[in-house]
Copies of this chain bind each other. A is one copy, B any other.
Amino acid sequence: MRSQPNGPRPTLEAVAALAGVSRATASRVINGGAGVRPAVQERVHRAVAELGYVPNSAARSLVTRRTGAVAVIIAEPESRVFSDPFFGRQLRGISRALARADTQLLLMFVEGRADYDRIGRWLSAGHVDGALMFSLHRDDPLPALAERAGLPTVYGGRPDWAGAGRTPPPLYVDTDNRGGARQAVRHLLGRGRRRIAVITGPLDQASAVDRLDGYRDALGPAEPDPRLIADGGFTAHGGERAMAELLRAAPDLDAVFACSDLMANGALRTLRAHGRRVPDEVAVVGFDDLEPAAWADPPLTTVRQDVEEMGRLMAQLLLRLLDRQQADPAEGPDPAAPAPIITEARLVVREST
């Protein structure tokens, strides 16, 4: 098994020398590469491969007092995390980026209010170097717990909690939810639809609010008909119920923008049960472009966000924060301070519109 070559382990210094860069730059590339030019990153990766360099987190933690582990906290119960492919996909990006930096991922769920005390204590006790948090709700106590623990933290999704306006502002990775939603609804308008309903996520989450705002943007300055708006809670079952509500309140609707693929699938089931043909009578657009969009019948027009890439970017941002904490001043200033990242959202047209 895990055989060790007999010679001495190649060092970071050797990697830096072979790549012709400073030790700090080599370290930055190995820890995610943010702020380093692609050509230089490429040189370092080639040197790593050539020497068979393995980052040694044990040695590193002696020098840096790091634990080599990062907590990933999803502010949802385990059952929801396992029933929504969004979370698995985001974790894939996180997990690969952390593994490349030889950093251990520790996944935590939040089953209920009673968990926050315990999570806060554990985070304060020095077991991890930093945290990634996502699916936060507006009144979520997690950001305050991380701050009290002095724990470098990167958020998934635009911060929208009390205190999100603090200085320095919290670091996060998000998709352009509002722009994506605008594209979805403009596409429906372009198809000649005039009574366009929306199934929203829970409006205590920023992503749900931003997508609803995009819907409003596309429809123009007039206040939308409230009978065309229903909350589907970001679940398939919620989408099913919300669609039934909408058909009762606005039987003349000719399109629906569901703010997640799971909810769109629920809506499709309800439309089928009510004998409404898709897209002839009702056109449907989702959001995410994950597995449920492919399973959908008919295949779903949706707004694609690169969820795995967002996970990767979150992990990289955090690794960079950790590096800055112990940057050697002799190496000069970090070329670019970490900043929030907004990734593109892009409409993918299939057969449901």
Contacts and interface: CB of A to CB of B under 8 A. Distances in A.
B82 A99 contact: no
Interface string A213-250: 00000000000000000000000000000000000000
B99 A114 contact: yes
A105 B96 CA distance: 21
B111 A99 contact: yes
Copies of this chain, complex-wide, total 2
A116 B2 contact: yes
A141 interface: yes
A158 B85 CA distance: 30
Nearest to A116: B2
A123 to B, nearest CB: 10
A88 interface: yes
A122 B92 contact: no
A1 interface: yes
A248 to B, nearest CB: 29
B114 A54 contact: yes
Given A95-B78, A106-B106, A121-B58, A69 B114 contact: no
A106 B107 contact: yes
A276 interface: no
A51 to B, nearest CB: 16
A14 interface: no
A119 interface: yes
B95 A111 contact: yes
Contact of A105 (B2, B69, B108): B108
Given A95-B109, A113-B2, A141-B2, A102 B118 contact: yes
A67 interface: yes
A314 to B, nearest CB: 15
A118 B79 contact: no
A96 B79 CA distance: 11
Contact of A88 (B78, B103, B121): B78
A83 to B, nearest CB: 8
Interface string A79-105: 101110101100110011001001111
A95 to B, nearest CB: 5
A9 B106 CA distance: 31
Contacts of A1: 113, 139, 141
Given A82-B91, A105-B109, A106-B107, 10 more contacts: A1-B141, A2-B141, A57-B121, A68-B118, A78-B91, A79-B92, A82-B85, A95-B111, A96-B111, A99-B111
The 10 A-B pairs at the shortest CB distance, nearest first, are namely A82-B88, A107-B107, A127-B127, A106-B106, A78-B95, A104-B122, A104-B118, A99-B111, A58-B121, A78-B91
